[in-house]
Amino acid sequence: MSIKAYILFTCGFFVAGCIAFANAATNPTDQDRAAFLKGVQFQRVIDIFQNPRSCGIVLLRERCIADLHVVAGKAAETPEFQKEYGFAISGDISTYPPQLGEANSLGPSEKLPWDSAPVASWLQAAGSAYVLSLGESDIIHQMFAMDYAGAVVFHAKNAGQYVDLIPLTLQKEAAEKGTKPPQAPAAGKMAMTSSPIALEQVPLVQQIIVSNLGPVFPVEAQPRLATTPGLVGDARLGIYQATFNELGESPQVLLEPQTRAFALELIRLEISQGASADGWTANSLEQAVSTARSSDDVGAFFQAIQEKLNASYLQTLPMPRRLVNVHGMLIAQGAYNAAVLHDSNFDGLVRSQIAQETSLDGLIPGFSDARKAFLASTPGDWVIENADLSKMVRMIIGTN
């Protein structure tokens, strides 16, 4: 049976369908949410460290640190992980430890404890499967996703109150195929254990995971949008807009649920304030963002749309607010440039703009001194520039 026929048969036959089970009476505990999020972070750390540019984005560095802690535990701040931890803090691409690209050096050291903690193990596997289900949809990525998807289906019978999130027909098929439970693979590695689902079933299982687990375990946008009125709010929005643009260079990370949620929130915010993008409506943009599965397509689409939204949004602002919005945008992009790109010409543009725009000096305590310290630094001293500009970003966002 072809995959198209299989999906039509299964969804039509036993899933009124794949989404109905999401309405089951499931009430996750904080412990359950933590187990699911751990799975999300385990998979996310692979993506984020295989796309090291994303750690150069100031508003994602705390996430890089948190993910490192999840996979390395308390060892993250020991001498053994000094290079990795330093990279996560600064986002400085020149300090990127090559072994992080392999991702297995920080991966789980043992298999999930299916026997002793079946529900927690299932939730962690489900969290990783959820990220993979929103990621690339080509055959290679489906082969990698098959292990987690198979684990979620096979072990659903021991998932406690979450058992009904996976259709019983799939569970029975998995049980009949083999009693060898698949184990979650080490990060960055493809498990060699046999899977209780076929490769052609992966798209269907991923659809079920997204439809049924997503509403039960909603993820928060990362970075979080925290708007405020006035010029500080305009500069803050400029930082969020720059963050979106920078994510365009790490589209695999942009496909992840938290960053996807951030993109949706930003798009909604800009459109609600009068921005437009060549006839795209809020609903059509949300649909495109929510269903994207290719990093190549999503990178090009997101950047093109966001550039149009940014330009359109700027036209809605009076000149003083427009200048401050661009000010925030350039400070964030300057920090990213210092951490990742090292473009001297762009650095000159950032310095010129920061020297002229002083509107925030009296609005944010210490901002004037931080701005002057950056201007006093040596152009091209990327470590110092990164630190100075990152500090300014955090002062505007309110997390310094």
pTM for the whole structure: 0.85
Co-location of 197 and 316 in the same domain: no
80-94 mean pLDDT: 85
| Residue 51 belongs to some domain of the structure | yes
Higher pLDDT, 192 or 296: 296
* pLDDT at position 3 over 90: no
Co-location of 97 and 200 in the same domain: yes
* pLDDT at position 179 over 60: no
Co-location of 205 and 256 in the same domain: no
Whether the CB-CB separation of 57 and 91 falls below 8 Å is answered with yes
Tell me the residue range of the domain where 175 lies.
28-216
**What does the pLDDT look like over 267-287, one tens digit per residue?**
889 988 889 887 777 788 888
| Residue 221 belongs to some domain of the structure | no
| Residue 17 belongs to some domain of the structure | no
Question: How many domains does one find in the chain?
Answer: 2
Co-location of 144 and 269 in the same domain: no
| Residue 15 belongs to some domain of the structure | no
Of 81-85, 115-119, 366-370, highest mean pLDDT: 366-370
Spatial distance between the Cα atoms of 260 and 6, rounded to a whole number of angstroms: 29
From 191, 216, 241, the end of a domain falls on 216
Co-location of 298 and 152 in the same domain: no
**pLDDT computed for residue 19 by the predictor:** 42
**pLDDT computed for residue 65 by the predictor:** 86
From 216, 239, 274, the end of a domain falls on 216
**pLDDT computed for residue 101 by the predictor:** 59
**What does the pLDDT look like over 9-61, one tens digit per residue?**
333 333 334 444 444 447 899 999 999 999 998 888 877 777 889 999 999 99
From 216, 238, 265, the end of a domain falls on 216
**What does the pLDDT look like over 213-265, one tens digit per residue?**
999 999 899 999 999 999 999 999 999 999 999 998 888 888 899 998 998 89
| Residue 7 belongs to some domain of the structure | no
Co-location of 206 and 151 in the same domain: yes
| Residue 241 belongs to some domain of the structure | yes
Co-location of 212 and 243 in the same domain: no
**What does the pLDDT look like over 105-163, one tens digit per residue?**
444 324 788 889 999 999 999 999 999 999 888 898 888 888 889 999 999 999 999 99
**pLDDT computed for residue 224 by the predictor:** 92
Mean pLDDT over the full length of the chain: 84
- For residue 50, which phi and psi values (nearest 5 degrees)? -90, -10
Co-location of 211 and 277 in the same domain: no
